[in-house]
Structure 1
């Protein structure tokens, strides 16, 4: 559909395009004549989420975290719990006033409306001595069941106390800053401001409580776990202490290191003493071999043996005192000096005993016996001393081995206890660190959740512009565009034969011409109707005047249905052809109104008796014979005259659609005649016929030429 067609379609229905917007605009104007005034107020809060200062310094910029924090804040403002709490507190403040009006909270009309909403008995029941008591009563009564007055009021569409009304509190972040703006509109300016104040107070407390509850739960968890870890750590340390006490361990690693060092030194001393003892023992045996006779027997006397045994005991005690003296604490008394003195005395006593029993001066080899006895005494003392030391060292070696075997398994157990202490300590320190971090986070939340009111809500003095003008304009323009869209949609979906090109494409027939809508008055010269009829007549005359055309020229007018306009077409062609000077004979079936000059025939009799064309025309002669046949789909039509028809005109009403049964009727008609079939579109408006009439402009002189041609043909005949 072209732009010109769209405009023509709209112009055709200009009355509807004006009437519907006018009706809708008037209706909107009348319905909004009692529109209530509304007042708007706003407040601005500073959050510090994006760039605020915390315990760790300036807040780090994180786009996703910041957006998440703002989303949480805005959703908390818009939550139902916040709206309900604001409604409770707003109603509480208004109930506390009773009959004493506070202009800063609400006006007189709002107070009267509250009295109308809640009965006096209920207001008295809900009102307590203090504001806190009244708030508690309101909450309890509203939450008691879902059928009481407060619950129904809260879930209604009341403009002041309902959740739906408080849902109009709009909260938004100002660009990418730390500021949040809240705005609200109400019928009462005082209620508008007071609602914003309560909303700010309620959601700030909820926001702080939510943040603090999160950290409080975490802190409580870490406190419990830290206390449990401390108990485990103390238990492990007590176990470690008891293990060291039971096993006489002061420092296991130093003790084992000392034992290992002492053992190595002891082994070296034992080796050294064994060598000295073996050497002294060998020398003593050599000296005893050199002594002979009574000198050798002297060494075996009872007194000397007694002194030797005592000497060995003293030397063993002295060696024991010297070896274990290093293990004693400083200041501990010792017997070493006494034993040394006694050993010296006993040595002198043995020397004296030997001198008293000496009876021989020289040995067998000639060596003096006195020197051998002295040397024997020295070696005997050295051998006895080394023997005592060796025995003590071997005893000490056995003690070291026992201590070593005792300390070796204790290391694994001690290691396991120390590892348990280390793990428990690490767990305790980690929990303690997390606890401190959580407490710092809680303190940080206390600092950062304190929302600051930058711009408090103001009392609006002027009402907000109403929506009356917008509704009237919207209704008018909406009605206009709705009607226009409906007309365009119907035009696009229209499948009727509205103009020649559409009729030609749907029927497959060439369109000979168009017939204007029927009119009670004859067409004026030069008008669209006159031009269209003239065009049709010229087309028929042109085909009748072609070389070889028979005389008379028979034109059949048919239609597939009734009331298609073929009778009007017959009359119009007859009038125009007679105006051109042609003799025209019109033949119509009985029941039609084609005028007094028409010849009528009975269709049923003509069909049964197979009347030829001459019988239908009753022998009358004319240049052009216009034969009208009954509707092809609805009536019975004669078949015999179709063989004598030279041109068939199919009348089609432009408001109808072309259907398969029409195509089948046309196909049956074509099978009965060789005459060409062309369409004539009836009831076409002027703007829809221009595509056909512009292509065939009228020529005024050509019909006169055709008239001379017909006269020559008539004279020849």
Structure 2
């Protein structure tokens, strides 16, 4: 707490300088801002439709606040982006030069801004060349000419217009455009201030148009690229799909395949039926062959001769041929009327041939019975029947064998065809899936583009910018106040920093903090002689004398009281202080003697360095007090017996003196010699520090009294004194004691 009060006192003592410095800076700022003009502010409100706008995308069921905030941030960043502001700068420059006039305000452009812009361009190194780029009939053509002329070169005027420090068209000027969201709504507030009303108005108006165009280019650009990619993929996959389908169709036509799966099922069914028929035909063939052999074994020679007759053989061959044809037609039938009629004719012809065979066989059979008793006619008849059955079975067997070959050929044909068709169908299926996937992505991209179109359409200027009529009030007063306050705080911080790090002794508190030694008293600094200088010296001498005399309590018989005057370096003022002390004690009637190095003793002599008592250096007399002024400790050592012999060792230090590391070391050495910390006397101390010991010093003016009380933080002392005086005047019959008693009550 004491240190805080000390800081306050230090700042209070420098308060005048702090206030004067702050006032000086404020005055300079006031003079510098004398020509400061008010700015013209233009603002507009933009509706975005990001949060509450309608969308056609599937995920537009609810509001995703993270996505909405991201979209709002994107819009704000687009408005404040360098590309957008560069186009605004270029178009604003072109508009001022095309629509402005040097003589009067027109088209929301002031003549002052036109003249400044035109003169600035004309006086540039390529001014004449730039003037030719202006097309008074078209703002768009002028802007196109400027864009073509611009190059990334430090000497290019159009390029430097945006990247240098132009007050209207530079990047630093357009950075003043402020964009903020109004709460959690879809609205964005955009405002801009400049020193020219036309510039402010046209900047915001152009910004709204360029922002919408920039937003559409960014959003449509990426969506159009995606749509173009999916469209090209659809065309490519569609062509491949058509190619694969045509290839499958061509393959089916070349191999005469209508429906592979149904046809293979039909072939499997035919194969199953064919196996059963094959077994039946083979059984009939073997049965008829065995029966025929048995009948021929039972025939006699006459019967065998009969069956080998040529006419019988011819008829038999004819019957066999007819049987084969009938069997073939019955096996493979087209089921039409012509084939049925032909089959009927073959059957009738076969019956007639069989009757003829019977007649021929009857002519050659002589005996009615064989040796075994079997009727010859029956054997021949049976033989003919079995021969015909055998021929029929053989014909059917041939047909079955041929059918088996055909069926095997079909199996050999359809087996690789199925694998090829499946492979082609897999390729077609893969192409179809790829086509459908890309088609879904393409439709989604189209929907996304349509949603972006709706979003862009929702970007609407709710409150169009209005041309400002009057300028806003300048911040000149605020700037001056801020300059004063800033300088005031800066100076306070500076002086506090100095107080914290400065190692100059300066006053008794800092001396006590840096040295750690007790302070016995101060001696005032005399920069110039005034009528009060003697009073200051006498007051300080009197207080210091009182502090010294309290140590003179015991002494040896026949020896004076000894006061050692010490210092760290030469020039600290110990001779000056000792003279005042000696003169003051002489006035009090004390017998005082002073010993000085170089006069009464030699500090560089062996006698001094080896002295065990001050009596070895001088011859005592009847003095009461002996003041010994030793040389500076930085120049010579003081023997320990001489230091410990004295009643008081007073170290004189200067307030103008900085406490260095060498001083700290010498003080530690002195402490080791004394066995305790020495007492200090601060010389050249400021008056406020001397007053801490002596009380208030003259002159006693009312202002100084108040300042003194404030410096001592006696804030209510005057109020209490005035209260006592007022009470005495009000009750003159009461004594002082009664008034004090009332105060106690």
**Tell me, which stretches of 5 or more residues in structure 1 are unaligned?**
591-600, 695-717
1:52 touches 1:59 (CA, 8 Å); kept in 2? no
Distance 1:23 1:352, change over 3 A: same
1:25 Cα offset (Å): 0.8
Q: 2:92 aligns with which of 90, 98, 105?
A: 90
CA distance in 2, matches of 1:162, 1:522: 67
SS at match of 2:191: strand
Question: How many correspondences in the alignment?
Answer: 681
**Tell me, which stretches of 5 or more residues in structure 2 are unaligned?**
696-745
1:163-220: per-residue Cα shift (whole Å, max 9, x none)?
3222222223333322222111122223312211111101111111111111111122
SS at match of 1:556: strand
Q: 2:561 aligns with which of 553, 576, 582?
A: 553
1:477 Cα offset (Å): 0.5
CA distance in 2, matches of 1:457, 1:613: 98
SS at match of 1:543: coil
Q: Report the counterpart of residue 143 of structure 2 in structure 1.
A: 135
CA distance in 2, matches of 1:185, 1:587: 82
Could you tell which deviates more after superposition, 226-235 or 535-544? Answer: 535-544
1:517 touches 1:684 (CA, 8 Å); kept in 2? yes
Q: Report the counterpart of residue 256 of structure 2 in structure 1.
A: 248
Q: Report the counterpart of residue 470 of structure 1 in structure 2.
A: 478
Q: Report the counterpart of residue 121 of structure 2 in structure 1.
A: 118
Q: Report the counterpart of residue 445 of structure 2 in structure 1.
A: 438
Q: Report the counterpart of residue 634 of structure 2 in structure 1.
A: 633
Q: Give yes or no for the alignment of 1:77 onto 2:79.
A: yes
Could you tell which deviates more after superposition, 528-537 or 578-587? Answer: 528-537
Could you tell which deviates more after superposition, 444-453 or 211-220? Answer: 444-453
CA distance in 2, matches of 1:111, 1:283: 131
2:99 touches 2:109 (CA, 8 Å); kept in 1? no
SS at match of 1:185: strand
Q: Give yes or no for the alignment of 1:217 onto 2:225.
A: yes
SS at match of 2:193: strand
Q: Report the counterpart of residue 454 of structure 1 in structure 2.
A: 462
**TM-score calculated relative to the size of structure 2:** 0.82
Q: Give yes or no for the alignment of 1:309 onto 2:317.
A: yes
Distance 1:146 1:638, change over 3 A: closer
1:30 Cα offset (Å): 0.8
2:524 touches 2:690 (CA, 8 Å); kept in 1? no
1:654 Cα offset (Å): 3.1
SS at match of 1:2: helix
1:142 Cα offset (Å): 2.9
1:273-299: per-residue Cα shift (whole Å, max 9, x none)?
222222233333333344434234222
2:503 touches 2:514 (CA, 8 Å); kept in 1? no
2:86 touches 2:162 (CA, 8 Å); kept in 1? yes
1:550 Cα offset (Å): 5.8
1:32 Cα offset (Å): 0.6
1:654 touches 1:683 (CA, 8 Å); kept in 2? yes
1:479 Cα offset (Å): 0.8
2:519 touches 2:681 (CA, 8 Å); kept in 1? yes
CA distance in 1, matches of 2:29, 2:584: 56
1:51 touches 1:59 (CA, 8 Å); kept in 2? no
What does 1:274-313 align with in structure 2 at a 5 Å threshold? 274-313=282-321
1:675 Cα offset (Å): 11
Q: Report the counterpart of residue 495 of structure 1 in structure 2.
A: 503
1:7-50: per-residue Cα shift (whole Å, max 9, x none)?
10111112211111100111111111101221111112222223
Distance 1:329 1:248, change over 3 A: farther
SS at match of 1:557: strand
2:597 touches 2:603 (CA, 8 Å); kept in 1? no
**TM-score calculated relative to the size of structure 1:** 0.85
2:244 touches 2:428 (CA, 8 Å); kept in 1? yes
1:520 Cα offset (Å): 5.0
Q: Report the counterpart of residue 62 of structure 1 in structure 2.
A: 64
2:78 touches 2:84 (CA, 8 Å); kept in 1? yes
1:158 Cα offset (Å): 2.1
CA distance in 2, matches of 1:89, 1:73: 21
Distance 1:154 1:501, change over 3 A: closer
Q: Report the counterpart of residue 711 of structure 2 in structure 1.
A: none
1:475 Cα offset (Å): 0.8
1:263 Cα offset (Å): 1.2
Q: Report the counterpart of residue 264 of structure 1 in structure 2.
A: 272
Could you tell which deviates more after superposition, 674-683 or 160-169? Answer: 674-683
Q: 2:388 aligns with which of 376, 381, 385?
A: 381
1:524 Cα offset (Å): 10
1:554 touches 1:645 (CA, 8 Å); kept in 2? yes
1:442 Cα offset (Å): 1.8
Q: Report the counterpart of residue 25 of structure 1 in structure 2.
A: 26
SS at match of 1:449: helix
SS at match of 1:439: helix
1:212-271: per-residue Cα shift (whole Å, max 9, x none)?
111111122122222221222222222222322332222222222222221121111010
